Amino acid sequence: MTFTSSVPVFLLAACLTATTALAQKPAASAAPKPPTNDDCLACHGDPSATGASGRSVAVLPDKFAASIHGQSGIACVDCHADLARSADFPHGEKLAPAACANCHADPAAQYDAGVHAVARRASKQSVAAACKDCHGTHEIRSSKDPDSLTYHLNLPATCGRCHGNADIIRRGRIAIGDVVAQFQDSIHGQALSKSGLMVAPDCKDCHNAHDIKRKNDPGSKVFRTSVPATCGKCHEGIQRRYQHGVHGDALAKGRPDAPVCVTCHSAHQIQRTEGSAWKAHVLRECGTCHPESTRTFRDTFHGQETQLGFMRVATCADCHGAHDIYPKSDARSMVSSARVVETCRKCHPGSSASFAKYDPHADRHSHARNPMLFYASKFMEALLIGVFAFFGIHTALWASRAVKPDVHVKPRRPDAGRRSQE
């Protein structure tokens, strides 16, 4: 060990440096100097270096040299600032945490306002992420570096180290569960991991990198009323249509039940909308707010077919539109009297005004909506009940009569009952 200079001299030097050359790097101060990186690596550069507890304390020199801090000539004691003033080497086991905020004040302030910092302040035992949990320690790279933990294509896996870890999910009481698995299977996750699309969002694009807030926090990018703007950063055209439509209008008017993007598409399990799976799924989504419409849809041909898994028939969005849904009374609506024939023609090219009088949501129980159907339904019910009641009784009587032949009942007319027993 080379750092064995006497404590008083070192302290004096440190005090002088603090008053005269505060802004300068410690290396520039007068002797005795704080340890240089080479000093540190003399011990820590050994890959087998361990602390008293047996935990590895190795810092691989080439890994550090390749990191953004190594590249920009940051000294070990810039982050491990308590060692800059220490003269007692080998130093103690317990060190103060690396002081990232000294240089990275803005991200640190953002982080401090975020959900991870809040959780860590609330409990000493918190498993919430600190800087190093996402960025790594000595091997930190720029987030633009493809090898970085926070590189666009790598971030979901990095978040997944906690948000895909069953133990941490349980201990951190993370209600949403293994959200990274959900995301990986979604259209966004697939676009990132399978297609390698840099335009596809990773976690931070919706949640922020440092200033991550809970979805019920009005300051969050994923707070209900902020969701359309967050999605609209990429899906601007959709956002515009949504804003004009009945759902966006309801949101703008402050209706608490107005659906936003994630209400129908989910937050992390967003699917392609071309496939059958989505068509089946969105029926249930629409049905959570429009149960009557789903019920009457189920009672007619389109709904019966989709129930059987044949999805090449009209479902909600085929007739009503997806984002620019308007009330039927609005001429812009796809089911308005002005546009309904054109809408039917998407599947039924020979549609006419007469054809479009078909009611895809006919309700046989509603006299007000479908009077003819109502009476037809009542007639059919009476017919079925009448036929089955009469023949049910007829059959029951016949069966009971036939299993017990009339051995001891005398026929009224001697010639009528048993005639040919030869």
* Site residues (vs other proteins, CB under 8 A): 298, 300-301, 303-305, 307-310, 312, 348-352, 354-359, 362, 364, 370, 372-373, 376-377, 380-381, 383-384, 387-388, 391-392, 394-395, 397-403, 406, 409, 411-413, 416-417, 419-420, 422
CB of 385 to other proteins, least distance (A): 10
CB of 334 to other proteins, least distance (A): 16
When the beta carbons of 153 and 311 are compared against other proteins, the nearer one is: 311
When the beta carbons of 96 and 399 are compared against other proteins, the nearer one is: 399
When the beta carbons of 290 and 295 are compared against other proteins, the nearer one is: 295
CB of 288 to other proteins, least distance (A): 17
When the beta carbons of 256 and 350 are compared against other proteins, the nearer one is: 350
CB of 293 to other proteins, least distance (A): 15
CB of 351 to other proteins, least distance (A): 7
- Cα 32 to the center of its chain, rounded Å: 55
List residues bridging with 56 in a β-sheet: 50
The closest of 341, 339, 334 to 318, measured between CA atoms, is 334
C-beta of residue 77 within 8 angstroms of C-beta of residue 35: yes
Q: Which residues, in sequence order, are CB contacts of 24 under 8 Å at separation 6+?
A: 17
Q: Which residues, in sequence order, are CB contacts of 55 under 8 Å at separation 6+?
A: none
Cα–Cα distance list, 46 to 43, 50, 79 (Å): 6, 9, 20
Q: Which residues, in sequence order, are CB contacts of 172 under 8 Å at separation 6+?
A: 119, 126, 127, 128, 162
The closest of 256, 275, 259 to 267, measured between CA atoms, is 259
Peptide bond into 90 cis (omega under 30): yes
When the beta carbons of 126 and 366 are compared against other proteins, the nearer one is: 366
CB of 266 to other proteins, least distance (A): 24
Q: What is the DSSP letter of 36?
A: P
Under DSSP, is residue 50 helix (H, G, I), strand (E, B) or coil? strand
When the beta carbons of 23 and 402 are compared against other proteins, the nearer one is: 402
CB of 330 to other proteins, least distance (A): 22
When the beta carbons of 186 and 294 are compared against other proteins, the nearer one is: 294
